[in-house]
Chain A
């Protein structure tokens, strides 16, 4: 069964460092998303991406964040200068054209120390 894969599963980084979270969406999907979930809190939308550009972003997705689809398979989230409050589980999701259901990856747990 096709699935969204994310790497790494857990990343520890020092405050102020840059991190790149990687995602491989399901191969024929065209809509990609990043969500985050701070421990014990709600899932929060960060950004959606379609046709090689951001289609929507939330207030959380400030200038410290960027997304990229560097090739035909990967979809990355970069946090330029991490803060302690960026510690969270980051989920990538993808959706096929005409579908309502998005498939989530297993997440990357980011810990900023």
Chain B
């Protein structure tokens, strides 16, 4: 079966660092995406990992370990506008672009 697990909700303080984990069990793997989604809005692309290791992009970094079926999204210098849901999604190798989505992690930033 296909399964992607993320924590349902996390809380962090403005200016701090937070790590959102994602584990996946899928029949194949051809990359992992992180998207940000503000309530009532469309998902927006944050990062893509297909090889093991860390990808850094400004305040956001994403890590992948294919052998462990594990990824995390690291957000630094948190701002209030980072309050959103963060969606982990996996692309299977036999798919053009069918993504298997996690339920998302709702991140609440407190002052």
Contact = CB atoms under 8 A, between A and B. Distances in A.
Interface of A: 31, 33, 41-45, 48, 50, 55-56, 58, 89, 91, 95, 100-107
A105 B77 CA distance: 28
Given A43-B43, A100-B48, A106-B42, 15 more contacts: A31-B97, A33-B97, A43-B89, A44-B101, A50-B96, A56-B96, A56-B98, A58-B98, A91-B43, A100-B33, A102-B97, A104-B42, A104-B43, A107-B41, A107-B42
A43 B43 CA distance: 9
Nearest to B89: A43
B108 interface: no
Contacts of A106: 41-42
Interface of B: 31, 33, 40-45, 48, 87, 89, 95-104
Contact of A42 (B33, B98, B102): B102
Nearest to A103: B45
A105 B44 CA distance: 9
A98 B51 CA distance: 17
Task: Please give me the 10 A-B residue pairs with the lowest Cβ-Cβ distance, nearest first.
Answer: A104-B42, A43-B101, A101-B45, A55-B96, A42-B101, A100-B48, A45-B98, A42-B103, A106-B42, A48-B96
